[in-house]
Structure 1
Amino acid sequence: MKHLLIISLLFIIACNNSNKQESTQKTTATITTTTVVDTAKTVQKDTVLDTDIPGERLTTDTAIPFLFEYEKRHKERFVRIITEYGNIDIELFKETPYHRANFIFLAKQHYFDGTIFHRVVKDFVIQGGNSDTWEVSKRRGRIGTYLLPPDTKKGFKHHRGIVSMPSSDIDNPYQFASPYEFFIVVQKPGAYHLDGGYTAFGKVIAGMEVADKINQVETEGKDDWPKKDIKMKVVILDK
């Protein structure tokens, strides 16, 4: 009997030690996972529709006062463009506050979701933010019709990977920019003839190879419109 009792006690102790070891391993694994998440430099957020909107549709006269106040409350500077070819991560320059705030505002309004890269010029640029769909037209109608003045004296050059804002198609002697559109320079080492004429307001920090893939798609017509729609979704990143 004594031998059986001793064996039983040893078995119980062994089981307890095993459970403690397993518990310790699980705790360690949990801590490790949490640490990886906590120290991650980029966390994608599902952008919620922004309720911080102007009382009326924006115009060229009211856009800057609105964006001046909006910029104070919304300091995000990192966004991700999601496409079927992969993701493009962008850092928006704090030195161009109105253009940064405008892009964040439109992203939070989900304006870009479902828009396309509508102009692809081989070995030069890819341009996005436009679409001929009724849904996108309604979004523009809801937000307003406005232009942004250029901000070209901050020293940013149109290196490869720079994100810039095109001028409006309307009669535009002051080169005011179309706030709903943007282009990414893919030309190597850059498209420096654009310096001084267009506002560089961000740069690609990851996914330039995705921009290169998009730049090589087949296009048609004088407007360099891709034969297949390249849709995008834009989300805000925590950094």
Structure 2
Amino acid sequence: MKIKNILLLTVLATGLFCGCKEQNKSVPAKVEARDTAPADTLKKDTGETRDAARENPADTLVLDEDNAIPFFFEYQKGLKANRVRLTTSMGAFTVELYDNVPYHKANFIYLARKKYFDSTMFHRVVPKFIIQGGNADNLKTALKRKAIGRYLLPPDTRKGYRHHRGTLSMPSSEIDNPHMLASPFEFFIVVTDPGSYHLDGSYTPFGRVVEGMDVVDAINQVEIDDGEWPMKNVYILKAEVLE
């Protein structure tokens, strides 16, 4: 059964969704709330975020539009890890991140290490085009976003990467965004064969699937509703940085 009221999520979360439909890439995705994750993801603030912050004092900074770029500039220095394994409710796949797209790479690894992606969903599926993940309509995800901060990333589209099949890219914000600044909490993966090249120049490719593309394809084939939300939720159970 759909949850009719997602006001809380709208207030706490960034409200950023991908605007990269095949039919009209300027139209943001329509996202509808659904029954949420298992019961443990629906608990009110249990202190998990605060406990994690105490365990990692270097990560307690709340990011915003003023400090995010300086933070990721420092964070990416000496960052050798470039692969992240995402275990989903339909199987696992691994992405490799491009070293010369440093802010997007650093952001993705930072969020994975903060366990942001854990218990989020693939909330948008467009058959034979993309799967989009990193959001959820539960309180836990909203609280995570609030704790991490509210910020956008500048596009980085001139490194020569194209939206080939298997490309990992970042959607842009739909909030007063003429410069196509990127939504940092979400990502999409191209499944089109050989690619969706009309996205080039508008969105930032920052990695590619190197293992488990069959899982990505399976997610892309799930039944969806009119809002492109899977009829049965597809969860990201865990995102692990492969050191």
Aligned to 1:21: none
Distance, in Å, in 2 between the alignment partners of 1:231 and 1:84 is: 5
Distance, in Å, in 2 between the alignment partners of 1:71 and 1:200 is: 17
Matched, 1:105 2:106: no
Distance, in Å, in 2 between the alignment partners of 1:200 and 1:178 is: 13
Q: Which amino acid aligns with 2:110?
A: F
Structure 2 gaps of 5+ residues are 1-54
Q: Secondary structure at the match of 2:161?
A: coil
Aligned to 1:146: 151
Q: Secondary structure at the match of 1:189?
A: coil
Q: 1:212 aligns with which of 182, 199, 217?
A: 217
Matched, 1:221 2:234: no
Shift of 1:51: 4.3
Matched, 1:166 2:171: yes
Identity of aligned residues (%): 54
Aligned to 1:182: 187
Query: How many residues align structurally?
Result: 189
The structure with more helix, counted as a fraction of residues = 1
Distance, in Å, in 1 between the alignment partners of 2:212 and 2:57 is: 30
Q: What is the TM-score with the length of structure 1 in the denominator?
A: 0.76
**What are the superposed Cα offsets for residues 4-32 of structure 1, whole Å, 9 maximum, x if unpaired?**
xxxxxxxxxxxxxxxxxxxxxxxxxxxxx
Within-5 A mapping of 1:1-239 = 50-53=56-59, 55=61, 57-222=62-227, 224-232=228-236, 233-238=238-243
Shift of 1:86: 1.2
Distance, in Å, in 2 between the alignment partners of 1:53 and 1:185 is: 31
Q: Secondary structure at the match of 1:148?
A: coil
Shift of 1:194: 0.3
Structure 1 gaps of 5+ residues are 1-48
Q: Which has the larger radius of gyration?
A: 1
**What are the superposed Cα offsets for residues 157-211 of structure 1, whole Å, 9 maximum, x if unpaired?**
0000000000012121000000000000000000000000000000000000000
Structure 1 consecutive aligned stretches of length 4 or more whose deviation exceeds 4 Å:
none
Shift of 1:72: 1.1
Distance, in Å, in 1 between the alignment partners of 2:63 and 2:226 is: 33
Distance, in Å, in 1 between the alignment partners of 2:118 and 2:64 is: 22
Shift of 1:50: 4.9
Shift of 1:54: 5.0
Distance, in Å, in 1 between the alignment partners of 2:144 and 2:217 is: 29
Shift of 1:231: 0.6
Distance, in Å, in 2 between the alignment partners of 1:198 and 1:188 is: 18
Q: Secondary structure at the match of 2:177?
A: coil
Distance, in Å, in 2 between the alignment partners of 1:194 and 1:154 is: 14
Q: Which amino acid aligns with 2:71?
A: F
**What are the superposed Cα offsets for residues 124-167 of structure 1, whole Å, 9 maximum, x if unpaired?**
00000001100000000000000001000000000000000000
Distance, in Å, in 2 between the alignment partners of 1:115 and 1:85 is: 13
Distance 1:85 1:188, change over 3 A: same
Distance 1:186 1:50, change over 3 A: farther
Q: Secondary structure at the match of 1:234?
A: strand
Give yes or no for contact 1:50–1:108 (8 Å, CA) kept in 2. Answer: no
Give yes or no for contact 1:54–1:66 (8 Å, CA) kept in 2. Answer: no
CA RMSD of aligned residues (A): 1.4
Distance, in Å, in 1 between the alignment partners of 2:174 and 2:164 is: 24
Q: What is the TM-score with the length of structure 2 in the denominator?
A: 0.75
Q: Which amino acid aligns with 1:61?
A: D
Distance, in Å, in 2 between the alignment partners of 1:204 and 1:50 is: 29
